[in-house]
Amino acid sequence: MTARIMKALSLPVVFSFLAGCTTTRPVVANPTPASIQECLQRSSRAALLISDFSGHKQWLYGAEIVRDTLRGHRTQTNPPVLAAVPLSQITGVAASRYSTGRTLMLLGGLVSLALVLALNAPRPQY
């Protein structure tokens, strides 16, 4: 492979590696205002995947509880898009976490791919 092709492939491989290392898991089994507040106190940067009664899911970044509402930003970009979800509407709270199993599987796949490419490389003729 040429250096140009390797450069073009390196960026998608890095992004897939980073995305493959995480998984989204529930952090609160039965969400109540007290359990959500406890979860927010444990995590300083609080990025949560919130589910409501309608089945709609949305990410909230920098989430905080203000009276009876969970408030945060829908995006991490500027200008921030604000979002508010009443605590009584929340049916699920999840967060992204690193997954050792997925990381190892992805690493194994990359090593296998490199091995296949190396074994199938054309042999030099002298």
pLDDT in tens, 37-55: 888 888 766 689 999 989 8
* 14: in domain: no
* 114: in domain: no
Quote the DSSP letter at residue 80: P
* Domain residue limits at 62: 22-106
* 77: in domain: yes
* 40: in domain: yes
Query: pTM for the whole thing?
Result: 0.66
Quote the DSSP letter at residue 124: P
* 119: in domain: no
* 8: in domain: no
Give the total number of structural domains in the chain: 1
Q: Which residues contact 16 (CB under 8 A, 6 or more apart)?
A: 106
Can you point out the beta strands (E) in the chain? 22-28, 47-52, 57-66, 69-73, 82-86, 90-98
What value does the mean pLDDT take over residues 79-94? 90
* 70: in domain: yes
